[in-house]
Amino acid sequence: MSRRHACVRRTGDAVTVEDLGSTNGTELNGHKLAPHQLESAYAGDIIALGETQIKLL
């Protein structure tokens, strides 16, 4: 995991994930995210940062 790997934002009920140009990338439900592009995330989705996985509730 990079020091500045990804950003997860919550605005109201909406959640977005953005890879910050990390070396090994960020995955959302097994799909690699393009760097610096916001992707919507929902309850039950899994964000992978290297070997670390985060499940949104």
Kindly give, in sequence order, each residue whose CB lies less than 8 Å from that of residue 34, ignoring residues fewer than 6 positions away.
19
Does residue 1 belong to any structural domain of this protein? Answer: no
For the stretch 3-27, pLDDT in tens is 789 999 999 999 999 999 999 999 9
- At 22 the pLDDT is 93
Count structural domains, the chain: 1
User: Which CATH number do you get for residue 15?
Assistant: 2.60.200.20
What distance in Å separates the CA atoms of residue 53 and residue 50, rounded to the nearest whole number?
A: 8
Range of the domain at 24: 6-55
Question: Please, which pLDDT band fits residue 1 given cuts at 50, 70 and 90?
Answer: confident
Taking residues 47-53, report their average pLDDT. Answer: 94
Kindly give, in sequence order, each residue whose CB lies less than 8 Å from that of residue 3, ignoring residues fewer than 6 positions away.
none
- Give the DSSP per-residue string, the chain: --TT-EEEEEETTEEEEEE-S-SS-EEETTEEPPBT--EEE-TT-EEEETTEEEE--
- 4 or 35, higher pLDDT: 35
